[in-house]
Amino acid sequence: MELIDGKKIADDIKKEIAIEVEKMVAEGKKRPHLAAVLVGHDGGSETYVAHKVKACEQCGFTSTLIRFEDDVTEEKLLETIDELNKNTDIDGFIVQLPLPKHISEQKIIEAIDYRKDVDGFHPINVGRMSIGLPCFLSATPAGIIELLRRYNIPTKGANCVVLGRSNIVGKPVATLMMQKGYPGDATVTVCHSATKNLKEICAQADIIIAALGSPGFVTEDMVKPGAVIIDVGTTRVPDVTRKSGFRLSGDVDFENVAPKCSYITPVPGGVGPMTIVSLMKNTLLAGQHVIY
Amino acid sequence: MELIDGKKIADDIKKEIAIEVEKMVAEGKKRPHLAAVLVGHDGGSETYVAHKVKACEQCGFTSTLIRFEDDVTEEKLLETIDELNKNTDIDGFIVQLPLPKHISEQKIIEAIDYRKDVDGFHPINVGRMSIGLPCFLSATPAGIIELLRRYNIPTKGANCVVLGRSNIVGKPVATLMMQKGYPGDATVTVCHSATKNLKEICAQADIIIAALGSPGFVTEDMVKPGAVIIDVGTTRVPDVTRKSGFRLSGDVDFENVAPKCSYITPVPGGVGPMTIVSLMKNTLLAGQHVIY
């Protein structure tokens, strides 16, 4: 069993990006500039945004954080997006989700100029990804694909089971895994809450991508010896032994599943760091203006 | 075994649309207006466009056919699209594919205002479909879903195998079949040329949607007793006994597969008529301006 070290791969990629950025600067170009809009003080969101800002520094990007209180109006947020769309100094930006309930996330996402949509959530980027056109790939699916690539994990003709059909992980990663080329060309099955024979389906999988948000869901009996396991789950589970009061738990019963696998991602330190690094790659693309 | 009568369902839907249209007219609204752009004289394209124009008449739509010779420039075609985008009398329009090689189909598709893109090929409509937002659904996948709905075929938790991963059938129909609700909630597996154990996968399927364009590919040994078979294939096969010199062949060995099925679509008369009727439904939506 080999542990897939998302942290190390993410650090490698950040260094590669930093070299690219210094090249750009040496050529007289500006540093890519990422703006992040953060509404309220949700603990998870604060942490994610802080990680993103730090990653920007590591990559040599300029970053700007724009904060609003929980009671910001949708109108005000749309105004800010309009300004960011027009601001030529900003290459890409994200609006950290979730947003307060009085704001339509979909409306906000669709208001972002797709050429600056480095989260890849705008329908036009989702559609382009599905068709196989140049676009900003959504961060988590792109991070998963990159892990498979960096570990040279064979995917052609592999039975790949995706657990979960969310718009931000399950559906897009399924699309990427079935696309022509490498990593891709897999036979992909998407399972979800309505799936009946889930254990049997998993037990036939060469690759399982678990994105359910259900701690420890994938157990040892569901995994074929030698399978590759990508664990996308990051659920906060109460843990009194931790200073924070919680720990992050994946969708996989790691302790019992790991010994059976050929490759497995840990939680944390697997897919998580790759998600942020995918955002950095998109920001680099945005700074290079190659998606239009 | 019950034959799924796509022709009858399509006729029913056209009548339903015609009633809607007469209601709109009675309320003082204009008839939905579909324009079709046809380049060259490809036999298949001529036939499809003629069927579409006829279907418009049956639905009470206004239709306009714009013809160009094979040597039309991309620039001229883009100009025409721009005019159609701006023409408020045209509610929706299609550019019949395939186009001559000197014209970029993708460029043409992306030039169409997505609010008039009744073929549902624009990335923004593809993305919205994937996310589950209101949009113009691509015609063939929408037609398949409608057949399942009209025949009350259970899909929740069903093992659905999609053969083929094309942008216009395989990928979108897989997305629709896995979406929440009915018809949907199926466990979907997408197979293609790189799939290894295709026979076994098909033999476990409750529903097979065959969209490979490979005549007679699905044989009796690949089908579980009681399975539902949707045959999307329409390949022209030489046939000297026909006046046209060819017949349409599906992807399924109908003669031997049909007796094992619970439901099966014939070719022709199954998915084909539904594809055109989906375009009519999109044109109605365009005329009602409910997609924006």
Model confidence pLDDT, tens digit, residues A183-241: 999 999 999 999 999 999 999 999 999 999 999 999 999 999 999 999 999 998 999 99
Which residues constitute the domain of residue B104? 28-113
Domain with residue A38: its CATH number is: 3.40.50.10860
Helix (H), strand (E) counts: chain A = 10, 11
Helix (H, G, I), strand (E, B) or coil at B266: coil
Is there a domain that residue B280 lies in? no
CA distance B130 to A182: 23
Could you say which of A5, A91, A117, A119 is catalytic?
A119
Does B190 sit within 8 Å of A188, measured CB to CB? yes
Q: Residue A32: its pLDDT value, please?
A: 98
A63 touches chain B (CB under 8 A): no
In the predicted structure, residue A44 carries a pLDDT above the cut 90: no
Specify if A3 maps to a domain.
no
* Pair B104, B153 in one domain: no
Give dist(CA B182, CA B145) in Å, integer. Answer: 9
Q: Where are the alpha helices (DSSP H) in chain B?
A: 6-26, 43-59, 74-86, 105-111, 123-131, 139-150, 170-178, 198-203, 254-257, 271-288
Catalytic residue among B5, B96, B179, B253: B96
Q: Verify that B145 and B107 share a domain, yes or no.
A: no
pLDDT digits (tens, 9 = 90+) for A115-142: 999 999 999 999 999 999 999 999 999 9
pLDDT at B187: 98
Domain count, chain B: 2
pLDDT band at A283 (very low <50, low <70, confident <90, very high): very high
Tokens for A240, please give them.
Answer: 């009194």
Considering the domain architecture, whether residues A172 and A70 belong to the same structural domain is answered as no
**Does residue B251 carry a pLDDT above 90?**
yes
First-residue to last-residue Cα distance in chain A = 42
Q: Give mean pLDDT, residues B96-115.
A: 97
- Is residue A11 flagged as an active site residue? no
- The answer to whether residues A264 and A181 belong to one domain is yes
- A146 in the same domain as A93: no
Catalytic residue, candidates B5, B14, B52, B206: B52
Residue percentage of chain A with pLDDT more than 70: 100
Distance (Å, whole) CA B257 – CA B194:
24
Mean pLDDT of chain B: 97
Question: In this predicted structure, what is the pLDDT of residue B243?
Answer: 92
Q: Are B151 and B205 in contact (CB under 8 A)?
A: no
For residue A175, the chain B residue with the least C-alpha distance is B171
Beta bridge partners of A237: A247
Are A113 and A144 within one domain?
no
DSSP A252: B
Q: Which of the four pLDDT bands, split at 50, 70 and 90, describes residue A1?
A: very high
What CATH code is carried by the domain that includes residue B251? 3.40.50.720
Q: Which of A122, A162, A165 to mutate to test the interface with B (most CBs of B within 10 A)?
A: A165
- B223 belongs to a structural domain: yes
- By C-alpha distance, the chain A residue nearest B174 is A190
Looking at residue B139, its pLDDT comes to 96
Over chain A, what is the mean pLDDT? 97
Q: Output the six-digit token pair for A273.
A: 């760091």
Residues 147-166 of A with CB under 8 A from B: 156-157, 159, 165
A178 and B190 within 8 Å at the Cβ level: the answer is yes
- For B82, list phi and psi in degrees, rounded to 5: -60, -40
Contacts of B74 (CB under 8 A, 6+ apart): B102, B103, B104, B107, B108
Question: What tens digit of pLDDT does each residue of A72-126 get?
Answer: 999 999 999 999 999 999 999 999 999 999 999 999 999 999 999 999 999 999 9
Distance from CA of B208 to the nearest CA of A (A): 14
Whether A144 and A113 share a structural domain: no
List the alpha helices (DSSP H) in chain A: 6-26, 43-59, 74-86, 105-111, 123-131, 139-150, 170-178, 198-203, 254-257, 271-288
User: What span, in angstroms and rounded, lies between the C-alpha atoms of B52 and B281?
Assistant: 12
A124 falls within a domain:
no
Q: Is residue A213 part of a domain?
A: yes
Reported pTM: 0.96
One domain, residues A100 and A143 = no
Q: CB of B31 within 8 A of CB of B24?
A: yes
Same-domain status, A145 and A261: yes
Q: Is residue B20 part of a domain?
A: no
Q: Is residue B13 part of a domain?
A: no
Q: B85 Cβ partners below 8 Å, 6+ apart? A: B111, B112, B113, B116
User: Is A96 an annotated catalytic residue?
Assistant: yes
Average pLDDT over residues B93-113: 97
Q: Could you give the percent of chain A with pLDDT greater than 90?
A: 98
* B191–A189 C-beta distance less than 8 A: no
Task: Enumerate residues 117 to 136 of chain B having a beta carbon within 8 A of any beta carbon in chain A.
Answer: 122-133
Label residue A226 left, alpha or beta by phi (over 0 means left) and psi (-120 to 50 means alpha).
Answer: left
The pLDDT tens digits of the residues spanning B126-174 come to 999 999 999 999 999 999 999 999 999 999 999 999 999 999 999 999 9
Q: Which of A88, A119, A150 is the last residue of a domain?
A: A119
Check CB contact under 8 Å for A187 and B196: yes
Interface check for A107 against chain B (CB to CB < 8 A): the answer is no
Q: How distant is the Cα of B289 from the closest Cα of chain A, in angstroms?
A: 18
On whether residue B7 sits in a domain, the answer given is no
Mind telling me how many Å the CA of A190 is from chain B's nearest CA?
6
A183 and A223 belong to one structural domain: yes
Residue B101's pLDDT is 96
pLDDT of residue B44 exceeding 90, the answer is: no
Sequence-ordered list of residues with C-beta below 8 angstroms from that of B263, at least 6 positions apart, any chain? B1, B2, B3, B4, B151, B153, B228, B229
Q: Do both A163 and A256 map to the same domain?
A: yes
Whether residue B84 is found in the same domain as residue B167: no
